[in-house]
A and B are shown apart, each in its own frame.
Chain A
Amino acid sequence: MPDRETRGGAAPLSLMPAPHLGVGMSTVRMTWLVSLSLLPAAAWGVFLFGSPALIVLAFSIGAAAAAELAATLPFGRFTLRDGSAVLTGCIVGLLMPPGVPAWVPAAASAFGILVVKQTFGGLGRNWMNPAMGGVVFALLSWPGLLSQWIAPRGGAGEAAALPPLEVLRAALSSSGSTGGTPLAILARAGYPFSDLDAQVLGWINAHLPAPLGTALQPGTFDVLAGHVAGGIGTVSAPLLMLGAWFLLSRGIVRWHLPVLYVGTFGVLTAVFGGLGTGQGLLAGGPGFHLLSGSIVLGAFFAAPDPVTSPLTDRGRCIFGIGLGGLTFFLRFFGSLGDGVAASIVLGNCAAPLLDRWTSRRIIGDAHGRAV
């Protein structure tokens, strides 16, 4: 080629294919921002349950990172910087009860990274969410160890070392005690809520006119604020929602899937959740069930994992609705934890099918578009 010369002495001009602009968000940034958005909930868990929670988180994240290194370094790749392994470790740790022996979250993380993710080729190629796979693996393997809870700081002492959801389920299955909202059943079962709960609710009931003449039930504040026993990162729904709001506002998570997931679960619980307590229809106490267990973490942080959820918004809508139904079913009629991890894993299995159903068809398009 004639007339080709670079600028005298200056660096050569770079050549690359169009387009020459790119969107501001990158996969790496996205992944780390999801981990970051979980930080408030994690900090609350560590504050509430002390050093055991910190140890669990350290082991789950450390094991995830170590497993990622072990699976990729021999092949000359260093994928830790993409943040996905650390995120998996984060979610596994946050779903664990604080009293669990530290090797259990480590095993769950390692299983998630090595078996669920890396055997299929690493980031982007796994068909099941690694964190959820790891948690279900642990739930199936060591169900007893996964119910070692710790009483929250500032709670009613050792008596409050069980999560309200567990106590509710026990009360319903053993005594068949009937009647009332979840909080009323807990109160009858003698669940010890904190002094703070009593003070705050006392003040509110005294100073604010309650709608329809009802007073807030004991436990409302504890459950709402996440001041109870529970999973390290799942007790505080408000702090999780703070992180979720960040993800939604930055466009990292699209709203369709999580909103429909939570919505479907909430509606089903409201309509049918009361059947087990003998309340009949429309008396399920959806608020309690949405705030307890890991549904907020599952719906906003695990289920929208792009790798294992459907490709299109239409697919994601169906996915979210399906997960809501599945979680409702597993929580009220199942035995595998609170049903969130199990239903996300089951949903992941269906995601490719949803892709097939909801992808645009270019040739032979049934909708008469774009042929």
Chain B
Amino acid sequence: MKYPTKLPRGGVNPPSETLVPPESGIANAAVPLRALIPLLQHSGKPAICLVKPGDRVGEGMLIGKADGSRSANVHASIPGIVVEVRDHCLPDGEVCTAVAIELGGEFETSGRPRQPREWEKLSRLDLLDRIRAAGVVGLGGASLPTHLKLAVTPGSSSSILVANGVESEPSLCADAAILREKASEIVEGLRICQTLLTPARTVIALGEDSAGLVHELEDLIRLKGMKGEVAVLPSRYPHGHEQLVLSAVGGGDGAAATVVNVATLYAVFEAVVLDKPLIERVLTVTGSPLLHPRNLKVRIGTRIGDLLDECGGLAPGPVKIVMGGPMRGVSVDSLDVPVTKGTSGIVAFAGAAARQAAELPCIRCGSCIEACPWDLVPTRLFKLIRLGDAAAAEREGLSKCTECGCCAYACPSRIPLVAVLRDGKRALRGTDA
């Protein structure tokens, strides 16, 4: 086990809202009677719709074809009949086509053992094609099509491949759960990536809460005859961020580096070895209003309201539902929003946490500066943007902001710093155009 030498600065340590029992496994969510599958679930162009209302689709059938290389395939997550193809507004405001499928017909693959396929003899291009065809995207949050990440020029001697098992957000623990249950498959997925990239170094980065898995993972690496290390990083948000993980394991100096989330590695394994498209994912459903928070394996397109019901349901009264984690997630105005490939969690808030706190004046306490992992001075950027001078904020590093939310979390005056900084970026884009 290797501890990182270079710890990133900044960050915050929110008390974890994780109410999921630490050693609990992954439960299968009920198969939805109706799935609403948006054709934009990745960064890039939306997929092209291949079905029309009335069509019968099988489980895992291609319903959206990638539109060019910076796009990803979308598959039917349940068998049944297409009942609707229409415009759908995603939680972040983008509008795309979505396919509604009503459950019916036979499950052709679920519950049946799959024959592992040979993959070692495949060419690079064939391997990449299997990953691309299965519609695998980064499951850690960014949703970049994975074949793009793995298609970089192989063999550059300074390259490093990192399996990111550090939880991306506080309160979420699906990555740890999938590491516990699918360690062997994840390491096999890592081996596939290694074959594609031939990196000089391979590191599995774990959060402190997964430190118990170090020996198991090291054994797996040895059994498979791979070269690789396991590093344990202190749990501190946002240190699961790609760049921070990289710099913590000593690969952040501009060398060719690829970071792949562990859940994505599992999807790579399923795509390449089991010939299974990405039609389900593991996510954490948690929050104080829920009776039974847990990690669920969910079909893409499942209504989040159904998942909340499965975890004990919501009490009446003001509630806030966040898709993603508590620091970067998007609050939604309906329980009918479907789970997509990028949904890493669903967090429910009740009481005071569900209300917007009143904003007070900045008292120049400097907490935001302490918290910023990117060496920015958020209070100054905020004041410049509120004064209407986004260009000056840009000169002070606005574009380095990743909207991790640490500054706004740390602010005792509850200034919505992230929202203001985002406004500033929008204003800049407006002037550029």
Q: Which residues of B contact A312 (CB under 8 A)?
A: 366, 369
Q: Does A123 contact B (CB under 8 A)?
A: yes
Contact A3 B14 (CB under 8 A): no
Write the nearest CB–CB distance from B103 to chain A, whole angstroms: 17
Partner of A23, one of B305, B328, B412: B412
Binds B, one of A7-15, A50-58, A132-140, A292-300: A7-15
Interface string of B296-332 (1 = CB under 8 A from A): 0000000001000000001011111110101111111
Q: Which residues of B contact A26 (CB under 8 A)?
A: 357, 360, 412-414
- Contacts known (A14-B354, A23-B412); A124 close to B363, Cβ less than 8 A: yes
Binds B, one of A177-185, A233-241, A355-363: A355-363
Instruction: Report the interface size for chain B: residues with CB under 8 A from the other chain.
Output: 71
Q: Does A144 contact B (CB under 8 A)?
A: no
Alpha-carbon gap, A89 to B184, bound state (A): 66
- Contacts known (A1-B89, A3-B334, A28-B360); A20 close to B395, Cβ less than 8 A: no
Q: Which residues of B contact A209 (CB under 8 A)?
A: none
Closest to A8 in B: B335
- Contacts known (A23-B12, A362-B397); A14 close to B319, Cβ less than 8 A: yes
Closest to A123 in B: B361
Contact A20 B36 (CB under 8 A): no
Interface string of A1-32 (1 = CB under 8 A from B): 11111110111111111111111011111100
- Contacts known (A7-B335, A311-B369); A21 close to B412, Cβ less than 8 A: no
Write the nearest CB–CB distance from B362 to chain A, whole angstroms: 5
Contact A370 B375 (CB under 8 A): yes
Q: Does A306 contact B (CB under 8 A)?
A: yes
Instruction: Report the interface size for chain A: residues with CB under 8 A from the other chain.
Output: 45
Partner of B409, one of A6, A22, A359: A22
Write the nearest CB–CB distance from A315 to chain B, whole angstroms: 9
Task: Say what secondary structure dominates the interface of chain A.
Answer: loop
Contact A13 B331 (CB under 8 A): yes
Alpha-carbon gap, A5 to B337, bound state (A): 10
Closest to B338 in A: A3
Contact B316 A11 (CB under 8 A): yes
Q: Which residues of B contact A2 (CB under 8 A)?
A: 86-89
Q: Which residues of B contact A22 (CB under 8 A)?
A: 357, 408-409, 411, 414
Partner of B334, one of A13, A17, A18, A125: A13
Contact A21 B326 (CB under 8 A): yes
Q: Which residues of B contact A370 (CB under 8 A)?
A: 374-375, 397, 400
Q: Which residues of A contact B349 (CB under 8 A)?
A: 20
- What 4 A-B pairs have minimum CB-CB distances, sorted nearest first? A19-B405, A124-B361, A362-B397, A370-B375
Contact A123 B347 (CB under 8 A): no
Q: Does B170 contact A (CB under 8 A)?
A: yes
Alpha-carbon gap, A122 to B330, bound state (A): 34
**Which B residues between 61 and 89 are near A, CB-CB below 8 angstroms?**
86-89
Alpha-carbon gap, A18 to B377, bound state (A): 19
**Which B residues between 404 and 431 are near A, CB-CB below 8 angstroms?**
405-406, 408-414, 416, 418-419, 422
- Contacts known (A18-B328, A18-B330); A23 close to B363, Cβ less than 8 A: no
- Contacts known (A13-B319, A19-B405, A26-B412); A360 close to B377, Cβ less than 8 A: yes
Q: Which residues of A contact B412 (CB under 8 A)?
A: 23, 25-27, 29-30
Q: Does A290 contact B (CB under 8 A)?
A: no
Contact A13 B332 (CB under 8 A): yes
Contact A363 B395 (CB under 8 A): yes
Q: Does B224 contact A (CB under 8 A)?
A: no
- Contacts known (A2-B86, A124-B363, A360-B377); A18 close to B329, Cβ less than 8 A: yes
Q: Does A369 contact B (CB under 8 A)?
A: yes
Q: Does A82 contact B (CB under 8 A)?
A: yes
Interface string of A287-311 (1 = CB under 8 A from B): 0000000000000000000110101
Q: Does B336 contact A (CB under 8 A)?
A: yes
